[in-house]
């Protein structure tokens, strides 16, 4: 799995570079000059994608992004709230990029580490919010990831997931796509509450739920 994820991010970063662009946490070319002087202000107001800001706006407390990719969501959450955040990903290439972006902008958080999403190094009941963004569609066993998220969430903690809508974001790296009833069925065993859906991105479902423990 690690090799697949490394290849996924390698392809993404390489493809963007060929287009004369670069992955980053903000709209780099237009705001690069000002980001060096006011990084938190620029990232808060001009993120690379407004979708990231939407997700970050519903996070709370001590935040963990499982499968963080290049780390944008946790960084924007820190820019918005000033609160600590952690990002993990199995891809070393993604983590190296996220750490370099954090250092370049002089951010205190997020802290990034490489970790298997099914066996994180965190103690139980640690985080107020867990985010699984563009993760579940990549892994055969969704419930293994959700069980680990539940383990490290505090009681009544907030779970946020983001997954592609059916036929909206086709990718050779996806093992599934989702309809609303797929998500409701998937999450039904983790909480008595109904999931809440947000419309930050027309191509993806963004869903929150309080996890019962």
pLDDT one-digit tens code per residue, 85-136: 999 998 888 898 899 889 988 899 999 999 989 999 999 999 999 999 999 9
Highest mean pLDDT among 25-29, 75-79, 199-203: 75-79
Question: pTM to 2 decimals?
Answer: 0.88
Distances (CA, A) of 180 to 5, 8, 202: 26, 26, 13
Higher per-residue pLDDT: 46 or 159: 159
* More confident position, 47 or 114: 114
Q: Which of 16-20, 40-44, 92-96, 184-188 has the lowest mean pLDDT?
A: 16-20
Q: What angle is formed at CA 188 by the lines to CA 185 and CA 194, rounded to 5 degrees?
A: 105
Residue 142, SS3? helix
Q: Please give the pLDDT value at position 201.
A: 87
* Whether pLDDT at 59 is above 70: yes
Q: Which two tokens stand for residue 139?
A: 């892994």
Instruction: Please check whether residue 75 is in contact with residue 106, taking contact to mean a CB–CB distance below 8 angstroms.
Output: no
> What would the pLDDT profile of 180-209 be if each residue is shown by its tens digit?
999 999 999 898 888 999 988 888 999 999
Task: Give the domain ranges of the chain.
Answer: 2-210
Q: Would you say 57 and 36 are in contact if contact means Cβ atoms under 8 Å apart? A: no
Region of poorest pLDDT, from 5-14, 139-148, 200-209: 5-14
> Residue 67: pLDDT above 80?
yes
Whether the per-residue pLDDT at 145 is higher than 90: the answer is: yes
Mean pLDDT of 48-74: 92
Model pLDDT, residue 22 = 57
Question: Has residue 27 got a pLDDT over 70?
Answer: no
Q: Provide the pLDDT for residue 97.
A: 86
In this prediction, residue 152 carries a pLDDT of 97
CA atoms of 11 and 18, how far apart (whole Å): 11
pLDDT for residue 114? 93
The DSSP string of 82-116 is ---EEEEES-HHHHHHHHHHHHHHT----EEEE--
The pairs formed by 23-30 with CB atoms below 8 angstroms and a separation of 24 or more are: 23/48, 23/70, 23/97, 24/48, 24/101, 25/70, 25/71, 25/72, 25/75, 25/76, 25/101, 25/105
Angle between helices 72-81 and 50-57 (to 10 degrees): 60
pLDDT at 28: 63
CATH 1.20.1050.10 for the 2-210 domain, yes or no: no
In the numeric block, which tokens belong to residue 133? 């963004």
Rounded Cα–Cα distance for residues 180 and 79 (Å): 31
Q: Which long-range contacts (CB under 8 A, 24 or more apart) does 19-24 make?
A: 23/48, 23/70, 23/97, 24/48, 24/101
Tokens, residue 46:
């001009």
> Dihedral of CA 181/8/152/51: which sign?
negative
pLDDT band per the 50, 70, 90 thresholds, residue 39 = confident
């Amino acid at each position: 799995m690690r090799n697949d994820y490394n290849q996924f991010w390698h392809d993404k970063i390489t493809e963007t570079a060929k287009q004369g662009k670069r992955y980053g946490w903000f709209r780099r070319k237009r705001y690069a000059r000002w980001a060096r002087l006011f990084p938190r202000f620029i990232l808060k107001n001009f993120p690379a994608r407004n979708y990231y800001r939407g997700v970050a706006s519903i996070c709370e407390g001590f935040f963990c992004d499982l499968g963080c990719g290049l780390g944008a969501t946790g960084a924007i959450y820190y820019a918005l709230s000033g609160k600590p955040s952690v990002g993990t990903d199995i891809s070393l290439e993604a983590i190296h990029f996220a750490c370099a972006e954090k250092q370049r902008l002089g951010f205190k958080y997020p802290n990034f580490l490489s970790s298997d999403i099914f066996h994180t190094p965190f103690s139980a009941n640690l985080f107020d919010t867990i985010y699984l963004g563009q993760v579940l569609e990549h892994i055969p066993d969704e419930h293994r990831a959700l069980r680990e998220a539940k383990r490290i969430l505090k009681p009544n903690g907030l779970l946020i997931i983001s997954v592609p809508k059916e036929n909206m974001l086709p990718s050779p790296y996806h093992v599934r796509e989702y309809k609303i009833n797929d998500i409701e069925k998937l999450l039904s065993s983790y909480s008595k509450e109904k999931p809440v859906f947000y419309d930050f991105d027309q191509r993806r479902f963004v869903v929150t739920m309080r996890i019962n423990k």
